[in-house]
Amino acid sequence: MIEFITNLNNTINGFVWGIPMMVLILGVGVYLTVRCGFPQFLHFGHIMKNTLGKAFEKTEAKKGSVSPFKAMCTALAASIGTGNIAGVSGAIAIGGPGAIFWMWISAILGMCTKFAEVTLAINYRERNKDGDWVGGPMYYITNGLGKSWKWLACLFAGFGALAAFGIGNMTQINTIAGTINTAIGGFIPTTEHEQKIIAWFVAIICALICAFILIGGIQRLADVCSFLVPVMAVIYIAASLVVIVANIGGVPTALAAIVKGAFNPASVAGGLAGVGIKTALTKGVGRGIFSNEAGLGSAPIAHAAADVKHPVEQGIYGVFEVFMDTIVVCTMTALVVLLGVGVQNIEYGTDIGANLTIMGFESVFGTGFPAVAVAICLSLFALSTVLAWALYGTRCVEYLFGYKASKVYQVIFCLFACIAGAVKLDLAWAIADTLNGLMAIPNLVGLAFLSPVVVKLTKEYFATVKANK
């Protein structure tokens, strides 16, 4: 039975993360970018001024909503995590340095995709039983395209609710447990039995933290994420900059390897066993989307709670979210790996996850401490991902089955977290990856059909901005 499920999943996964999906995701990104007038380029200054520039402003959100910054941090909590640390190094190991170039391309286009998602989420959101704003693809598909399209909205919500158990729960908790065990093992030798005990303990603690925060609702979740994400991002970027500055002379070579490797992988590091343009492209785009979630439809669920007057006010936070996640944090990781380990010293063809990143930090900070530091960063990022995906899954179930069912879902979600620490999750990882891809299909269809609404709202907003200058 397990073999059958594995083979079936591999077949579906090969489609949803194959060339057709890459074309669909990038194609929708290009389409929206052109139709919306290249907002991520032409209005980048305005976007930075009204997102990063207002990050530390104290704003009081109305009941049932959160500040735009807190909504964005909640979405970032889901995306900044294992994808930025383990995912990037894995993309390099399998797809070569050129994978990072395609990651950048997917991010540049993904900025407008995320912009459109978030704008629509605000435009078509609703109030739930608690008086909270709820939104996302299931709502803008239903309210924007009409009730006859509800089946598509239900597909997204179903895939989202299931994906949350994998990509946003068990795999993240398992990563935390494994990373902590690795860090401890660097100082104190541990037996396999002791490692399992540590993993179970870590999983239960994570589950209890998740339950406590979920009880507090969207306000408590947003408060935690708006503190955790900026602090950890600053620490991680600062540590990365130390490695980059220490190897500053190698930066031009590393960047050249990224660009050359995108179009001619064999020219970089003597052939890169098994790496071709297709591998570099698919791994770069796939890991990029896994990291920033542009096109998946998950982030708009968090952004929908933002207290804004115009939908595009929050849409620009979607642009900043992708920029911060992929262009900044993922690039930091890539440079740490390429500079710290060396393009010629990477064992291509094998995904060794966060180990490459740790090796990069060890080149400057020495052994021991980097493993602990990465373990802390990865664990906190992964925990924040669990919290955000708990919200995503809750909203999906609420849409499908109602408010009471969403509370039952939260209990089950926390119970799954309890058992995730000490079990092998290879199949769970694979299924979660597939469900993530399946989420994107109904969302991208909805975005394409609702693009005229996004265009109208974009023109309306920036015309007002121009008039007020």
**Gap between the Cα atoms of 383 and 417, Å rounded:** 11
User: Is 66 strand, coil or helix?
Assistant: strand
pLDDT at position 169, please? 79
CA–CA–CA angle 218, 413, 16 (5° rounding)? 95
Domains within the chain, CATH numbers bracketed = 19-458 (1.20.1740)
Nearest Cα to Cα of residue 322 among 84, 82, 24, 20: 84
DSSP state letter for 135: -
CA distance 303 to 318: 8
Collapsing DSSP to helix, strand or coil, 368 comes out as coil
Q: Tokens 């990038």, residue?
A: 26
- Report pLDDT digits (tens) over 101-157: 988 988 999 999 999 999 999 999 999 888 888 999 999 999 999 999 999 999 999
Pairing of strands 133-134, 126-127: antiparallel
Give the global pTM. 0.88
Contact 433, 284 (CB under 8 A): no
DSSP state of 133: E
Q: What is the pLDDT of residues 153-199, one digit of tens each?
A: 999 999 999 888 877 777 788 778 777 777 777 677 878 777 788 88
Q: How many CB atoms are closer than 10 A to CB 408?
A: 11
Give kind and range of the element (H or E) at residue 127.
strand 126-127
Task: For residue 407, give the amino acid letter.
Answer: K
Listed in sequence order, the DSSP H helices in 247-306 are: 251-263, 277-292, 299-303
Alpha carbon distance 423, 61 (integer Å): 41
Residue with the larger pLDDT of the pair 74 and 401: 401
Q: How high is the pLDDT of residue 451?
A: 95
Q: Express each pLDDT in 258-308 by its tens digit.
A: 888 878 766 565 555 556 666 667 777 777 777 778 888 999 999 999 889
Q: What is the pLDDT of residue 244?
A: 93
**Residues 302-337 pLDDT 10s:** 999 988 999 999 999 999 999 998 899 889 999 998
Tell me the pLDDT tens digit for each residue of 354-406: 778 888 888 888 776 776 777 777 778 888 888 888 899 999 999 999 988 98
Q: What percent of the chain has pLDDT over 70?
A: 90
* pLDDT score recorded for residue 421: 61
